[in-house]
Amino acid sequence: EAFVSTFQRSFATGSFDDTLSNRFTDQANNTFQVSANVTYSEPLGQNSQLQFSYNPRISKSKSDQQTFEQDPLDNKYSLFRPNLSNVLENTTTAQNGGLSYRWGDRDRMISFGVNYQNTNLESNQTYPLAVTVNKSFSNVLPNAMVRYKLSTRSNLRLFYRTSVNEPSVTQLQSVIDIANAPVYRIGNVNLNTQYTQFGSFQYTYTNPTKGLLLVGNLFYQTANDYISNATYTLVRDTVVGGVILSPGSRLTSPVNLDGYRNMRSMITFAVPVGFIKSNLNLDAGVSHSKIPGITNSRLNETKSTVFTMRTGIASNVSQYVDFNISYSANFNKVRNDVLPTANNDFFQHVAGLQFNLLSKNGWFFQNDLNNQFYNGL
């Protein structure tokens, strides 16, 4: 439920006109999902096997939105607004079957396979207009994994998978959302499913004798038909879904776009510091993402790069004394193709100290110090 009050002032030559509207929106969303997973494995030898899998799934969702405007005569929300109301039912049926092969022993393992998924998306809008959308999508979803032991102290892992994501019922709903006026949203019944590929690499080195740990991670993700947003800034009075949007308002709608990328890397190093009976932990990483969107009918790519660093010293000098020192820093760089005014660089750091003392007489003293610094827009 939501109450929205909108004040609108329209200027003309030498005069202006004020309009105040109060609306109440009652929205009910219900979702139901049933799925099953059946697998069968057939050994092909001492170290290998073939596996068959079948995963059916059906999900149903219903959205019922009713909007009423306040009657100025009795101040009751009794004036029904059909252009701001909507009844939508969405049914998604997915059939996923696959075949995979695995070979390995305690030191090495390799697995690869492929799944085929057919997804049927049926959307029925019964109010205010009867609109039916029935789409079927077929996708080939490969997957692979490799684990290799380099030595008694180090190993490698590689992982690759694909997936599909269906649009939500609110993203398909073609009724305008006025909850955040003058920023409005409207769904898109022509959305397709999003096809995502994900890959990762991990290197691990451990030395229990010396207490050393080194872990390196690399993640990469890309998506076709990425469900993004198209945003338009209106320059004149515009009627959308029976609602008059004034100049300066913004209208946002979901769209499918290619070009989404996301890459992250992280290195973790841990080592004991003997002279203060402590453990030193160091983390450093960088991430880069490219998110496509549409701004005023122009393709806009938002590129974001983030550098991170964290360090900490945790000590337990004795049963009476321990401390924890931590520091983290982040530098963010954001660039937009279409909106250079939205470009931004900002830096943030957090430093902390926790110190605990316990006397033999049972007295306990704890002190926490924190410092935060932020520089940027």
* d(C-alpha 179, C-alpha 67), whole Å: 11
- Give pLDDT tens digits for 152-166: 999 999 999 999 998
- Give pLDDT tens digits for 65-122: 788 888 778 878 778 877 677 788 888 899 999 999 999 998 999 999 999 999 888 8
Two tokens, residue 285:
């990483």
pLDDT band at 12 (very low <50, low <70, confident <90, very high): very low
274 Rama sector, left if φ>0, alpha if ψ -120 to 50, beta otherwise: alpha
Kind of pairing between the strands at 226-233 and 278-295: parallel
Q: How many domains does the chain have?
A: 1
| Domain-embedded: residue 9 | no
- pLDDT at residue 243 tops 80: no
| Domain-embedded: residue 2 | no
- Give pLDDT tens digits for 127-146: 777 777 788 888 999 999 99
* Span between the terminal Cα atoms of the chain, in Å: 34
* d(C-alpha 228, C-alpha 257), whole Å: 7
* d(C-alpha 166, C-alpha 93), whole Å: 11
Two tokens, residue 43:
């050994």
pLDDT in the model for residue 19: 58
The half-sphere exposure of 265 on its side-chain side, counting CA atoms within 13 A, is 8
* d(C-alpha 178, C-alpha 248), whole Å: 15
- pLDDT at residue 180 tops 80: no
The model carries a pTM of 0.78
User: Which has the closest alpha carbon to 124: 58, 189, 198, 70?
Assistant: 189
| Domain-embedded: residue 5 | no
Give the DSSP H/E element, type plus range, for residue 126.
strand 108-127
pLDDT in the model for residue 124: 84
- pLDDT at residue 214 tops 70: yes
Average pLDDT, the chain: 87
User: Which has the closest alpha carbon to 154: 218, 211, 213, 217?
Assistant: 213
Amino acid at 206: T
Name 244's Cβ contacts closer than 8 Å, sequence gap at least 6: 237, 238
| Domain-embedded: residue 3 | no
Domain that holds residue 248: 27-375
Task: Tell the residue number behind the tokens 């994900």, with chain if given.
Answer: 198
| Domain-embedded: residue 298 | yes
| Domain-embedded: residue 75 | yes
Amino acid at 266: M
> How far does CA 109 lie from the centroid of its chain?
31
More confident residue, 232 or 218: 218
What angle is formed at CA 201 by the lines to CA 112 and CA 110, rounded to 5 degrees? 25
pLDDT in the model for residue 361: 79
More confident residue, 22 or 148: 148
| Domain-embedded: residue 285 | yes
- Give pLDDT tens digits for 278-333: 889 999 999 999 999 999 989 999 999 999 999 999 887 777 788 889 999 999 99
| Domain-embedded: residue 363 | yes
